[in-house]
Structure 1
Amino acid sequence: MADDTAPQQAGTPADTPRRVTVLTLGGTISARGGGADARLTGREVLDTPGITPAGVQVDLHDFRRVPSSSLTFEDLTALADEVRRAVAAGSGVVVVQGTDTLEETAFLLDLLCTTERPIAVTGAMRRPDLPGADGPANLAAALAVAADPGCQGLGVLVVLADEIHAARHATKAHTTSVATFASPGAGPLGGVVEGVPRILLRPTVPTRMCGLNLDPALRIALLTLSLGDTGELLDAVAEHPERYDGLVVAAFGAGHVPARLVEPLAALTARMPVVLASRTGAGTTLSHTYRGPGSEADLLHRGLIPSGPLAPAKARLLLHALLSSGARGPAGYDRPRITAGFAHLDGAGLA
């Protein structure tokens, strides 16, 4: 580990924050041999020569050691608490986890942690015992981002393959490629060159609207429609309303559903918020281009809430956070507040 007396790295600003807190959760970056019993500790992951930027002190916490597919909302609310404590103490933060749910963790932290300090989330696509393991390079880049004052005010960042992505846009786009993370419709904010972050773009509006919370007890269903869908899964949600507090529908195209599902969806809006998203993976839902039965105009007129450009999995997290933060009460849910929460991120009228 580099200490506070180490010389500044060439090209690094003199006022670089000297503390970065690293929270490791497990994942491929630590999965030596591929088995659960062979996982590296955070210290072993960090001990690769050259990972830590010169002049930066790293505080390491082995927070969890599990595949990212096994992370729970309880894990992530506890993680958000650790991140808030670290930034309150003047530290940048790097979260290291598996890539399967990395985009969801990063977006959730963006909603829950209101800070200007850099927070970078990273991982790896190749195990440390395989040729071309990408974990050390990704971790080095994430540490550089978290230690750089030029990366402040960007929200939570996803850093892999020397690219820097905004959490709300980043998505895992390939099952095995080391360059799997992309930001459809937006592109990366910048990259890391010779160990120095270079920011080319800044989000016009931050993801965080205010300090949101997450109640792990709430349950938000996510329904992805497919050709020939006759509504059995939707019926399961409708028949057991006590099990769910909200629903996100990953619809066709720009927000379309089979005409036969319109009435059941409209009926559900009287009992819970129903968010209309697109299953396509890029682009935004529309509002008035199509007007027939099952079109976006028809569904929004019947009370569904548009997700805009948010992908279904992230729309589920935003709805969960909004309901956990005052948009739900004994009299029902606050539809205008939830609609405003999604509209905040839709980019309408922004440069």
Structure 2
Amino acid sequence: MSIALITLGGTIAMGGVDRGRTGVVTRLTGVDLTAAVPGLAELGVPVDVRDVQAVPSANLTGRQMLDVVDEASRAVAEGANGVVVTQGTDTLEESAFLADLVWPHAAPLVFTGAMRNPTLAGPDGPANLLAALRVAAAPDARDLGVLVAVNDEVHAARWLRKTHSTSTATFASPNAGPLGQVIEGEVRVLTRPSRHAPLPPVDADRLDAARVALYVVTLDDDGLLLGGLADTHQGLVVAGFGVGHVPSALAPVLGELAGRIPVVLTSRSGAGSVLRNTYGAVGSETDLQRRGLLNGGLLDPYKARVLLRLLLAGGADSTELTAALARHG
């Protein structure tokens, strides 16, 4: 039995200040990270360290995340019982969700990171890494898709949100809660949601070419910034008010776009679902769907964009887009 550890940089791997520069930038390797984890030896599982990328998570790309999934798949094929990925927390909710959409294995793929770097008092990286390794080694964590282990909680990547810019308790799953907890070193899975089948393999070049915009609706919004978007992008995600509303002046602009490219309606609220047929005024969810917008359901705007890019890169038609949004949202 072994666990593969894939490292991508981020706060968890920042170990000092380089001479002549400000801010914490020196990168720790996977060996450095595991050496700083108290109690790792008691886990009793060899850790196969694979330093893949040294990049802030703000610079991660969809192509790189597909490469990470491929590397994790190789580790499983070579005998790893689970895989842990460490990265920065800025984009962790998006990268973990992308991985979840294409991860085909029963073996756990567990993401983690840190909010406090090792130069600060009380860094959370070692505890989060130990928890992630425990989850990756736990038989009960199999066949749950991609997971995120932080703050001794186990979350499904498809529901995870980063909710605070600095708190170590930043990660939460507002619509569902965590799947489990790590208690006295034991992984306790408290609920087992049904797992969606992975999307078909996606060509990285096509993913690079799939440009999907995200537009957040604001007070008194007339949509001027959306002019010409259908000429430069293949899809659009709209983060509307509340249950999926926009100003009435914006509704025809979005309807015109929906006649040319897929437009997915989500909520900017942070939790809860876009509705389907409760309100009927111009700019309501019912009106927007009548104009051709696709309902994103419980998907937050960021995950909807990840999903739409993968679907477009895979050549999904309108029927397949609608079915996938209904399944994942």
Normalised-by-shorter TM-score class: over 0.9
Does 1:232 find its partner at 2:215? no
Determine which of 38, 41, 61 is the counterpart of 2:29: 41
Find the aligned partners of 1:337 and 1:117 in 2 and give their Cα distance: 28
Determine which of 127, 131, 135 is the counterpart of 1:137: 127
User: For 2:308, what is the secondary structure of its paired residue?
Assistant: helix
Query: Residues 174-193 of structure 1 correspond to what in structure 2 (within 5 A)?
Result: 174-193=164-183
Deviation at 1:150, TM superposition (A): 0.9
Alignment coverage as a number of residue pairs: 319
Query: Residues 1-351 of structure 1 correspond to what in structure 2 (within 5 A)?
Result: 18-33=1-16, 35=23, 37-48=25-36, 49-51=38-40, 53-91=42-80, 92-204=82-194, 206-213=195-202, 215-238=207-230, 241=231, 243-327=232-316, 334-346=317-329
Deviation at 1:303, TM superposition (A): 1.1
Bigger CA drift: 309-318 or 76-85? 76-85
Find the aligned partners of 2:314 and 2:79 in 1 and give their Cα distance: 26
With over 3 angstroms needed to count, the CA separation of the structure-2 counterparts of 1:224 and 1:90, relative to structure 1, is: same
Find the aligned partners of 1:86 and 1:64 in 2 and give their Cα distance: 16
User: For 2:193, what is the secondary structure of its paired residue?
Assistant: coil
Bigger CA drift: 36-45 or 209-218? 209-218
Deviation at 1:90, TM superposition (A): 3.0
The letter of the residue matching 1:46 is T
Find the aligned partners of 1:51 and 1:74 in 2 and give their Cα distance: 32
Find the aligned partners of 2:88 and 2:319 in 1 and give their Cα distance: 36
Find the aligned partners of 2:328 and 2:313 in 1 and give their Cα distance: 19
User: For 2:3, what is the secondary structure of its paired residue?
Assistant: strand
Deviation at 1:326, TM superposition (A): 2.6
Contact 1:212 1:322 (8 Å CA) reproduced: no
Bigger CA drift: 46-55 or 318-327? 46-55
Deviation at 1:37, TM superposition (A): 4.3
Bigger CA drift: 32-41 or 182-191? 32-41
With over 3 angstroms needed to count, the CA separation of the structure-2 counterparts of 1:235 and 1:56, relative to structure 1, is: same
Contact 2:112 2:148 (8 Å CA) reproduced: yes
The letter of the residue matching 1:217 is A
User: For 2:309, what is the secondary structure of its paired residue?
Assistant: helix
Q: Deviations over 1:214-255 (max 9, x none)?
A: 5222111111111121212211414xx1x2110000111111
Q: CA RMSD in A?
A: 1.4
User: For 1:38, what is the secondary structure of its paired residue?
Assistant: coil
The letter of the residue matching 1:26 is G
User: For 2:209, what is the secondary structure of its paired residue?
Assistant: coil
- The two structures have a TM-score, normalised by structure 2, of 0.93
User: For 2:47, what is the secondary structure of its paired residue?
Assistant: strand
User: For 1:275, what is the secondary structure of its paired residue?
Assistant: strand
With over 3 angstroms needed to count, the CA separation of the structure-2 counterparts of 1:53 and 1:23, relative to structure 1, is: farther
The letter of the residue matching 1:307 is G
Identity %: 51
User: For 2:127, what is the secondary structure of its paired residue?
Assistant: helix
Bigger CA drift: 128-137 or 43-52? 43-52
Q: Deviations over 1:157-201 (max 9, x none)?
A: 011000000001111111111111000020000001121110001
Bigger CA drift: 311-320 or 71-80? 71-80
Find the aligned partners of 1:147 and 1:158 in 2 and give their Cα distance: 14
Find the aligned partners of 1:233 and 1:77 in 2 and give their Cα distance: 31
User: For 2:303, what is the secondary structure of its paired residue?
Assistant: helix
Consecutive unaligned residues in structure 2, runs of 5 or more:
18-22
